[in-house]
Amino acid sequence: MSAASPSAPSKPVDTRGLAGQTVGDTQVCAVTQTQLIYRGYEIADLAEHASFEEVAHLLLVGHKPSASELKAFRDELASMRDVDQGILDVVGRIAESKSGQAEVHPMGILRTGVSLLSHVDPDCEDNSPEAELRKSKRLLAKIPTIIGFGQMRRDGRKPVAPDRSLDHSANLLWCMTGVKPDELAARIMDVSLILYAEHDFNASTFACRVIASTETDMHSAVCGGIGALKGPLHGGANEMAMEMLKDIDRDCAGGRMTVDAWMRRAFEEKRKLMGFGHRVYKNGDHRAGILRRWGLKLAEKLGPSAKKWFDLGDEVQAIMLRDKNIHPNVDFPCGMTYFVMGIPVPQYTPIFVASRITGWCAHIMEQHANNRIIRPLAEYTGPALRRWNG
């Protein structure tokens, strides 16, 4: 019998960033390579048949609302939208200020606004389930008001008061733009908020759970989530994806350069192209196709100047798939969709917060309900033991 040939050494698994590691359990959401499920309901089903407020109730309260529960939930949220004028004054001053030559990022403004909300919330230091649900609803209701107030002050316009007759998505658009959205725009925003509402232990949600595990208050945990979401590798990706498309459009205008050549140059320069790839969805993010279809519907209605962004996006997407075998994630069509809706690019990530606050709060409540402080171990790779006076 011949001797068995030695087996090739196995390639070490790269677990940086906790890649492939299961660090807890949850009843809120399941993410697999082929599905995204909120409390048992698949995302395409929710995007097609549910409203964002129904999804918010599902995540925060824990079940699909009846007609009467939904009405009560909507009415309660609408009644909570007003924000203390002192907080709005601070938000407005920050929004109008300059940091060097750059404007303050809206995510920084929103993070401060949420922190200030904690000081006027009567339940701030109460982590009981009942108090945390009340805080969750207040945060959900008030965040669009802060976003809109900050944007209007950035624009030098007079802010508008939240409109109790509008649903969450339409009111968010109204607060940001001062224009009542038509039915299609409101529905597109609603779908985008459904798609962004929850995504298990992503960076910002995990940050919220780590902070919550110390048994601190919900507002503190949410501020940590906002800080994590601000990063371009997480929530800021939709902003960067649209900025990339604007760069391509500018460089290729008038036939100066083809999109293919622009992409080859980006590959050679090892430029990070935002809106592509995903840690879990190796064969494509199914949320991306849903949002692209809705965005394209609006672009076709608005005409060639809007549709050109989707034509450009499709060309970029095809090149990425052909040359790199990398699919777009939901941030790629989101950038184009929000852009043709006339939403300022720096507000894309705050809009993400107006949705993901539901998932964050659901996870914070779940963490507090069955808590153990999150404290993983680290592999030490520093110098060997040595003496200070050696």
Catalytic site positions: 234, 278, 331
Q: Which two tokens stand for residue 354?
A: 């107006």
CA distance 50 to 143: 21
In degrees, rounded to 5, the angle at the alpha carbon of residue 352 between the alpha carbons of residues 218 and 229 is: 65
Query: Distances in Å between the alpha carbon of 183 and those of 170, 193, 302, 320, 364?
Result: 9, 15, 14, 34, 33
Rama region for 162: left / alpha / beta (φ>0; ψ in -120 to 50; rest): beta
DSSP 18: G
Return the HEC string of 204-261.
Answer: HHHHHHHHHCCCCCHHHHHHHHHHHHCCCCCCCHHHHHHHHHHHHHHHHHHHCCCHHH
CA distance 291 to 236: 17
Q: 348-369 and 203-212 helices cross at what angle (nearest 10)? A: 40
In degrees, rounded to 5, the angle at the alpha carbon of residue 359 between the alpha carbons of residues 93 and 223 is: 35
CA distance 314 to 316: 5
CA distance 357 to 224: 12
Q: Which residues pair with 42 in a beta bridge?
A: 37
Phi, then psi, of 326 in degrees rounded to 5: -120, 130
CA distance 73 to 257: 53
DSSP E strand stretches across 27-103:
29-31, 36-38, 41-42, 98-99, 102-103
